[in-house]
Amino acid sequence: MRSAFDFSPFRRSTIGFDRLFDLLEDSGIGEASENYPPFDLVKVRDDEYRIDLAVAGFKRDEIDITAQQNQLIVKGRKSGDEGHDYIHRGIALRAFERRFGLADHVQVTDADLENGLLSISLKREIPEAMKPKKIEIGGKSGQSEQKAIEMQAEEKETA
């Protein structure tokens, strides 16, 4: 569903922000969002996070977790009714799909289901090529000084 806001003037004057505008347009601003199953977002450490979803009544094989293109999708589909004759059914066992947007370089590391709580562990791992590097200032004077130090060391070794 598209938002009521028109991003086309920004799209014309920016380069490389298409994904951001798509996210804003598809975010469903102003729509009633689905809130089942409830979840918690937990910051474990600086670069580690956890999503806890309350999925009481679901078994491991009834839940599907998929990570793709900066998005985490958790789907649950209850398999058949066990043939019980319910007088009242208050536990929500309906099918669900939850989507979580992931930042760049956030990877799913683990998932566990215990006591009706699905815990998905996430870690942000920045590749070495993208980490900040200290650049030494060089130049001719720096190279000359280095060469002079190397020559002095060689002279001491030969003496």
Q: H/E/C letters for each residue in 52-107?
A: EEECCCCCHHHEEEEEECCEEEEEECCCCCCCCCCCCCCCCCCCEEEEEECCCCEE
The pLDDT tens digits of the residues spanning 39-54 come to: 999 999 988 999 999 9
Q: Using DSSP bridges, classify how beta strands 106-114 and 96-101 pair: parallel, antiparallel or unpaired.
A: unpaired
Closest CA to 100 of 70, 72, 122: 72
pLDDT at 133: 84
pTM for this predicted structure? 0.61
List, for residues 108-156, the tens digit of each pLDDT value: 999 999 998 999 999 988 888 877 888 888 866 555 666 767 777 777 7
| Least confident span in 6-10, 27-31, 96-100, 123-127 | 27-31
Architecture in CATH for domain 36-158: Sandwich (2.60)
pLDDT of 30 = 42
| Domain residue spans of the chain | 1-33, 36-158
Task: Work out the average pLDDT over 21-44.
Answer: 70
Q: Looking at residue 128, what is its pLDDT?
A: 81
> What mean pLDDT comes out for the span 27-34?
50
Which position has the higher pLDDT, 31 or 17?
A: 17
Confidence of residue 32 (pLDDT cuts 50, 70, 90): very low
Q: What are the pLDDT digits (tens) for 72-118?
A: 999 999 876 667 787 887 777 788 999 998 888 888 999 999 998 99
